[in-house]
Every structure is written in C-alpha cells, then in structure tokens.
Amino acid sequence: MYDIIIIGAGPAGLNAALYASRAGKKTLVLEKTFAGGQAATTYEVDNYIGVEKCDGAALAMKMASQATSFGAEIKYEDVLDINIEEKRIKTQKNEYKSKAIILSMGANPKKLGLENEDKLRGRGVSYCATCDGNFFKEKIACVVGGGDTALEDAIYLSALCKKVYLIHRRNSFRAVSLLINKVEENSKIECIFDSTVEKINGDNIMESIVVKNVKTNEETKIDTNALFVAIGTSPNTDIVKDKITLDENGYIITDENMKTSADGVFAAGDIRQKTLRQIITAASDGAVAANSAVTDIS
C-alpha cells in the first residue's frame, strides 16, 4: 500500500513525487518509457527560472534524482488499468494500491494523418527534432507547425542542416515574438505560409513532400529526407476516459488545486485543461497536486 501513486514521470510527476515524499508520504511513480517526458527530448531549456540554458535530458535526470533522494520510488511499468474508486492500479507486471492518485501522463504529438506517415516514421518522419535532427546534418529538413515548438525545432535544425523549410497553414506564426524574430533573422530558414503538407513520398526512406498553398491550391514538391511534425499534442487520457471528467479535446478538467471529478484523484501537467504547457507550469501543477493529495489523505 502506497500513500500516493503518480502515473507519469515528466516534470509534473517528478515534482509531485518530490513534494509528496518530502511530506513523508510513501510515494510511487509509474512510468512506461523514460523519466522527464517531453522535457527530456528538448535540446536546450532557457526558460526554467533559476536554471540558465541547460540540456533537457540533463534537467530531467536531475529532477528524477532529486525526487528519489527524498524517498520516492520510480518503477518503469506500463499502466494497463486504473480502478478510480478503489485507487487500484494494474500494470503489465504488478498491481498497486494507494490512498490517492496523481495523473500526469502528459500528451503525445499530433500526426498529420497522411498516407506514408506511419510507414516512414523513423525513416524521415519525426516528431522530435532534438531526438532525430542529428541524422540529417548538412541535409534539407522541413518543419510543420506555427507555434513555439515548431519554431524552436526550426532554429535547432538550422544549426545542423544546410536548409530548413518552416511550413505553416496560416499567414502568421502563433509563437512568442522572441522565437519569431530568431526565425526571421536566420538565413537558413525559409518560411512557407498559407500551406499544408499534402503528400509524403518515399519507399524505405522519405524522398520528398508535396506542399499545397491553401489560397491558390498550387502544389510544390520539396526534395527532403526529413519532415518534423510540430502541430500540437493529444492528451494521454484513454485510460481514464469515462472514469473522470474530460473536456471536448480529451484533457482532464481540474480545479485550481488539481482535483479532478473523482475523489482522491488529481491531475497535473500537460494532461489537464490549461492555457500554457511548459516545463515550469507542469512542475508547478505537480507541486500543487502533491500538496492537495497530502492534505486529502492526512
């Protein structure tokens, strides 16, 4: 029996583990892949207060180490089912019981939904520039999207690739002005506005893409071996669908204390309904969720 079980070891889950274990609660974190979540795949973090420009993977390792230093356990097991009422969690290896649950499973990248997209994933199609950018040194790369992540990806890739096309379906970016300025000043990045990717061509590896101008319907082929998709995320809430209240996009609805619609169940980070999804806001959510859970079971 644990006091608090946290599902997901991103910044939200790890900070929740830190706060819960510091409060003297027996705490378990269940993670199916690796600690750090999307933060661990970020090339450079420069907007986490108190930490000046660091590697995302290194920051994630420090978070995990700090959480476990206070007694939290991290087990790498995929959660198969959650019994909300009984606070019972089943993984592919074990079954665990707790007094409170914190959901922090994060979100996954959205896909374009194109033919060949899944077939060529890892063979040119990628959803993580910092993970796969190194494979395309001195080559031509394309990035799809118009938010912070897309522009960050383009800037990162411009240091590796000889040219980067940044493709966005609207006529202006939704990113912060700092990133927009960096993109505009970067001679290696060419912006293609009012356009969408219509086709991904290639057999064993990606060879080119077809881009369509949504205003003129004109199609253009771009020869490239790399397409980085950065068009948003989908929350990992399938396992709690119909068990707690979600919004129309599948994100968990919580109050300001991170409480969900179910007693003793809290949510933190990118998985919940919110306006800003950053490392610092995820970590903040985790602290609040842990404090609420500790108070709830004390």
- Which residues are catalytically annotated? 128, 131-132
Cα–Cα distance, 96 to 85 (Å, whole number): 13
Q: For residue 91, what is the enclosing H or E element?
A: strand 88-91
Task: Note the residue count of the chain.
Answer: 298
275 is written with which tokens? 């306006």
For residues 132 and 149, what is the distance between their CA atoms, to the nearest angstrom? 15
Amino acid symbol at 247 = D
Nearest to 183 by CA among 153, 157, 151: 151
Tokens describing residue 60: 């994630």
Instruction: State CA 224 to chain mean position distance.
Output: 25
What is the Cα–Cα distance from 122 to 112, expressed in whole angstroms? 15
Cβ(129)–Cβ(153) below 8 Å: yes
Do 41 and 56 form a contact (C-beta atoms < 8 A)?
Answer: yes
Query: Pseudo-torsion of CA 165, 168, 170, 173, nearest 10°?
Result: -80
- Given its phi and psi angles, is residue 196 left (phi above 0), alpha (psi -120 to 50 degrees) or beta? beta
Q: Please report which residue ranges of the chain form alpha helices under DSSP H.
A: 11-22, 56-69, 129-132, 148-158, 177-185, 279-297
